[in-house]
Chains A and B, each alone.
Chain A
Amino acid sequence: MSDALIEIRGLHARAGEAEILRGVDLVIRPGEVHAIMGPNGSGKSTLAGVLAGRPAFEVTAGEVRFDGKNLLELAPEERARAGLFLAFQYPVEIPGVGNNYFLKAALNAIRSHRGQEPLDAMEFLGLVREKAKLVEMPDDLMGRSVNEGFSGGEKKRNEVLQMLLLEPRFAVLDETDSGLDIDALRIVAGGVNALRGPDRAMLVITHYQRLLDYIVPDFVHVLSEGRIVHSGGKELAHELEAKGYGWLAKEPPAGGARA
């Protein structure tokens, strides 16, 4: 498993008193796209939050290695600089902080970590325009405050835009498809696919099989009650769409994460 980009072993986590993750095992290698599906309350967003370092969650057992490093002891900003990216299910509105200013601060923080020179205003604008085109992000949104007054679809496109700018090695997309109409979904998926490559991996969390028609995964996992209970190839998503999650509860937990 030394070639794994991310390796999750026996991960337990809770929010307040409630234990939500109860032993998640998952290994993802460079170039792979994994999808996690599962009913509401199964722990999908908690897993995403734990990986990104959301302070509201407490890891009680298990480990996560990212590129060989212990991910869990890194601060959220250190995880981002190391190449992890979370596309939020509910992107946060930040009044008074300009979207362009924010993107530039983030990009230059990450560039500085990589030993690259910060981009000046002109270079940054050129790059952001090029990426914004990929997700059809209107210019006027770039000058506004971060996510403030954006529609649901615009917020999700802004997430994908950030991902394209920061070029993470491992991206977690937390229900990036929820609330999107089919055109917006196609745009968002196009942005995600533009970033796919042999050195990068993705974890796509979704409630709907529909997204996986556009971002075709290599593996599909079912999360239920805080554990991965079933894993399969991309056809599993269609099976779940047709049969629901009920039939899986009757099977023993899958144990290993790899199909």
Chain B
Amino acid sequence: MSDLLAARDRLVGLARLAAATRGAEAPELGALRADALASFADGGLPTTSHEEWRYTSLAGFSRLAFELAPAEAPPSRNQVEAIAAPFFACSAYVFVDGRFTPELSSPSTLADGVRVDRLGAAVPPDFGSLVNVKQHPFAALNTALFEDVAVVSVPADAVAEQPIHLVFVSTGAGPPRASFPRVLIEAGRGSRALVIQDHVSLGAGPRLTAAVSEARVAENASLELVLLQRESDETFHFGSQQVRLARDARFASRTLTLGGALVRNDLAALLAAPGAECHLDGLFLGSGERLVDNHTLVDHAEPHCTSRELYKGILADRSRGVFRGRIVVRPDAQKTDAQQSNANVLLGSGAEIDTKPQLEIWADDVRCSHGASIGRLDEDALFYLRSRGIGEAAARDLLTRGFAAEVLERIGSEPLAEALGDLLLERLTGEKP
């Protein structure tokens, strides 16, 4: 407990230091930051007696004294390309320790008027409005500390043909370092885009990544957001993604967690108008003693909305997984159609998963279902593959990839799904497939 208090004080100190050294900002941003910092200082870091943090202890995290990354020469293009590979033949925008690095990035303006840039002097009036800094301490910390905001704006009826790749690189080699990636996506009415939010690390040493993404999907727009977490196994990653869907909007989230000592994701989708449809899919891989904790919330606020959710966990060695999927159906949200499923395969005898659906249904004319499963690789399938000459290790990899396929297949770009499947196996086996 005293460690948590001391860690909070250190982090508040970092935020004050950042505020003192930061150049002039828009006044509304200053107010937002001050409010967030006050929330963080008040609430502090949660203990495991907090229901939302029951399975995720911050004890190890709280013993580390993080520093802000100094502004130094950015890594070379080759270094970034090597760790952010494969660049799926798309436009890449690189943020080094939370700072936009134009010399490593594609041009800001893409075809059809799609723009990717850092947030400038003009702050959109609703910036930060989807982020509840009182509920999410690390989102509060991010708000107090972020440097650049990656802003993706897709104009009305525009179609981003290529995926937009946002690469967040954390760097350093030595004392623990913190970075605060921030993303804002505005998907205009009737538009279509696929954004990859990719977190990677360069160099060794403990890291804190506290990331926040905020996305608004306008009427009849379609946005797919792939969150790829593949940082080093010394990284503590706290990610918050808040999405608001307008009438007939479609949003698909694919969260792929492959790295990190401790990863905690809070993803919330607000179905704010009739006809909206969201798909939340996740694939998380645990190995060693890593912990991956996924908290999701689907908020059905209006009638005739659909949500589908599939999270799959692969837990090797002595790793731990947590899945908590909350679905709220508000009194007005009649004709809601919600499905949630969480399936886990335990590869290691010391691996664990805690899975908990939480349905809060206040309307009466709805269809809601949920299911969870925990198992091991199918022994019959393993024998079948081996009886055809496939070695045991290769057969296990094939079955593991088969387990993951259900999530990967949903990704709207086949080469991307293939590449992600390869990355998964590479993380699992330590070899390139």
Q: Which A residues are within 8 Å of any B CB, using their own CB?
A: 52-55, 75-77, 79-81, 85-86, 88, 91-97, 102, 105-106, 109-110, 113, 145, 162, 166
Given A54-B383, A91-B384, A92-B384, A81:B389 Cβ within 8 A: yes
Q: Which of B381, B389, B401, B406 contacts A106 (CB 8 A)?
A: B389
Q: Chain A contacts of B392 at CB under 8 A?
A: 75, 77
Query: At the interface, yes or no: B53 with Cβ under 8 Å from chain A?
Result: no
Q: Chain A contacts of B398 at CB under 8 A?
A: 97, 102, 105
In the complex the two chains form, is A106's CB within 8 Å of B380's CB?
no
Contact with A along B28-45 (1 / 0, CB 8 A): 000000000000000000
Given A54-B383, A92-B378, A109:B401 Cβ within 8 A: no
Q: Chain A contacts of B401 at CB under 8 A?
A: 96-97
In the complex the two chains form, is A109's CB within 8 Å of B379's CB?
no
In the complex the two chains form, is A97's CB within 8 Å of B386's CB?
no
Chain B residue nearest to A103 in the complex (CB): B388
In the complex the two chains form, is A80's CB within 8 Å of B405's CB?
no
Given A94-B381, A94-B399, A96-B405, A75:B386 Cβ within 8 A: yes
Other contacts beyond A88-B384, A97-B398: 10, CB < 8 A:
A53-B386, A55-B379, A76-B383, A79-B387, A85-B387, A92-B380, A92-B383, A105-B390, A106-B390, A145-B405
Given A95-B406, A97-B401, A52:B387 Cβ within 8 A: yes
Q: Which of A54, A77, A92, A94 contacts B389 (CB 8 A)?
A: A77
Q: Chain B contacts of A97 at CB under 8 A?
A: 398-399, 401-402, 405
A and B contact pairs by CB, cutoff 8 A, 19 listed: A77-B387, A77-B388, A88-B384, A92-B383, A94-B378, A94-B399, A95-B403, A95-B405, A96-B404, A96-B406, A97-B399, A97-B402, A102-B385, A102-B388, A105-B390, A109-B390, A110-B388, A162-B388, A166-B389
Closest chain-A Cβ to B12's Cβ sits at a distance in Å of 47
Q: Which B residues are within 8 Å of any A CB, using their own CB?
A: 378-381, 383-392, 394-395, 398-399, 401-406, 409
Q: Chain A contacts of B394 at CB under 8 A?
A: 105, 109
Closest chain-A Cβ to B157's Cβ sits at a distance in Å of 34
The CA of A118 and the CA of B140, in the complex, are separated in Å by 55
Q: Chain B contacts of A162 at CB under 8 A?
A: 388
Q: Chain A contacts of B406 at CB under 8 A?
A: 95-96
Given A77-B390, A106-B388, A109-B394, A92:B381 Cβ within 8 A: yes
Q: Chain B contacts of A102 at CB under 8 A?
A: 385, 388, 398
Q: Is the interface of B mostly helix, strand, loop or mixed?
A: helix
Q: Chain B contacts of A95 at CB under 8 A?
A: 402-403, 405-406
Q: Chain A contacts of B395 at CB under 8 A?
A: 77
Q: Compute the total of residue contacts between A and B using a CB distance below 8 Å.
A: 83
In the complex the two chains form, is B387's CB within 8 Å of A109's CB?
no
Closest chain-A Cβ to B274's Cβ sits at a distance in Å of 34
Chain B residue nearest to A162 in the complex (CB): B388
In the complex the two chains form, is A53's CB within 8 Å of B387's CB?
yes
Closest chain-A Cβ to B399's Cβ sits at a distance in Å of 7
Q: Chain A contacts of B389 at CB under 8 A?
A: 77, 80-81, 106, 109-110, 113, 166
The CA of A92 and the CA of B378, in the complex, are separated in Å by 10
Closest chain-B Cβ to A128's Cβ sits at a distance in Å of 14
Q: Chain B contacts of A52 at CB under 8 A?
A: 387
Closest chain-A Cβ to B378's Cβ sits at a distance in Å of 7
Closest chain-A Cβ to B118's Cβ sits at a distance in Å of 40
The CA of A104 and the CA of B325, in the complex, are separated in Å by 39
Q: Chain A contacts of B402 at CB under 8 A?
A: 94-97, 145
Closest chain-A Cβ to B155's Cβ sits at a distance in Å of 38
Q: Chain B contacts of A106 at CB under 8 A?
A: 385, 388-390
Q: Chain A contacts of B385 at CB under 8 A?
A: 94, 102, 106
Closest chain-A Cβ to B381's Cβ sits at a distance in Å of 5
The CA of A94 and the CA of B390, in the complex, are separated in Å by 14
Q: Chain B contacts of A109 at CB under 8 A?
A: 388-391, 394
Closest chain-B Cβ to A113's Cβ sits at a distance in Å of 7
Closest chain-B Cβ to A74's Cβ sits at a distance in Å of 11
Q: Chain A contacts of B399 at CB under 8 A?
A: 94, 97
Q: Chain A contacts of B403 at CB under 8 A?
A: 95-96
The CA of A77 and the CA of B381, in the complex, are separated in Å by 13
The CA of A77 and the CA of B393, in the complex, are separated in Å by 11
Q: Which 5 A-B pairs have the closest CB atoms?
A: A96-B402, A96-B405, A106-B388, A80-B389, A97-B402
Q: Chain A contacts of B390 at CB under 8 A?
A: 77, 105-106, 109
Q: Chain B contacts of A77 at CB under 8 A?
A: 386-392, 395
Q: Chain A contacts of B405 at CB under 8 A?
A: 95-97, 145
Closest chain-A Cβ to B307's Cβ sits at a distance in Å of 23
The CA of A75 and the CA of B394, in the complex, are separated in Å by 14
